[in-house]
Amino acid sequence: MSIEILFEDDRWAAAGLARLAESACRETLTHLGFDPEIHEISVLACDDARIATLNAEFRDKSAPTNVLSWPAEDLAAEEDGEAPLPPEPDLEGEPVELGDIAIAWETCAREAREQGKAFHDHVTHLMVHGCLHLLGYDHIRPRDAARMEGIEVEILAKLGLADPYD
């Protein structure tokens, strides 16, 4: 698996984001039956100011958020609750580019603290969540949300983490 991380905030490197992202995304792909070795993801490890700018630019929301995702391809299911389309390589034998994830330090740290969760566990959950978005999963429609959350819980359990929605 190839995960390229741009560290705009050095706190992420010190916290081991590379290891957390690799583990979370690898388990997500494996859980869904995809070969992690042929997939690529880019991650922006940033702060609240940067993610607030991105959130305003791409979602018209002028506040920071924990994680944002930009899928390389729209794989979303047409019907609420259906599975998304599988990612396919553009060229046979080439890696499958899934897209980009941005994650914000201050929001993640604050949420973990407020929810009484270990920081690394919360970040792992958000990386699984972001990776699922790259794979076409979403939580806007009710059955899509239930499907995505159920998959998150299964993946996190495989990683030895508690249900974040409990």
The DSSP string of 18-69 is HHHHHHHHHHHHHHTT--GGGEEEEEEEE-HHHHHHHHHHHHS--S--SEEE
Has residue 164 got a pLDDT over 90? yes
The whole-number average pLDDT for the span 2-21 is 98
Q: Is the pTM of this model over 0.85?
A: yes
Q: Binding residue per annotation — 129?
A: yes
**In this structure, is residue 89 part of a structural domain?**
yes
Number of neighbouring beta carbons within 10 Å of residue 88: 9
Read off the tokens for 114: 């407020």
Find out whether 106 and 12 touch, Cβ atoms under 8 Å: no
**In this structure, is residue 163 part of a structural domain?**
no
Query: Which amino acid type is present at position 35?
Result: D
Number of neighbouring beta carbons within 10 Å of residue 35: 10
Note the pLDDT tens digit of each residue in 127-160. Answer: 999 999 999 999 999 999 999 999 999 999 999 9
**Residue 73 maps to which CATH number?**
3.40.390.30
- Can you give the pLDDT at residue 78? 96
- Can you give the pLDDT at residue 91? 85
The DSSP string of 105-128 is HHHHHHHHHHHT--HHHHHHHHHH
**In this structure, is residue 164 part of a structural domain?**
no
**In this structure, is residue 166 part of a structural domain?**
no
Note the pLDDT tens digit of each residue in 68-118. Answer: 999 999 999 999 999 999 998 888 888 999 999 999 999 999 999 999 999
**In this structure, is residue 142 part of a structural domain?**
yes
Q: Binding residue per annotation — 120?
A: no
**In this structure, is residue 107 part of a structural domain?**
yes
Q: Binding residue per annotation — 122?
A: no
Measured between alpha carbons, how far is 134 from 101 in angstroms, rounded to an integer? 8
Pairing of the two strands 96-104 and 67-71 = antiparallel
Residue-number span of the structural domain to which 48 is assigned = 2-158
In this structure, what is the dihedral angle of CA atoms 138, 144, 147, 150, given to the nearest 10 degrees? 60
**In this structure, is residue 56 part of a structural domain?**
yes
> Domain count of the chain?
1
**In this structure, is residue 165 part of a structural domain?**
no
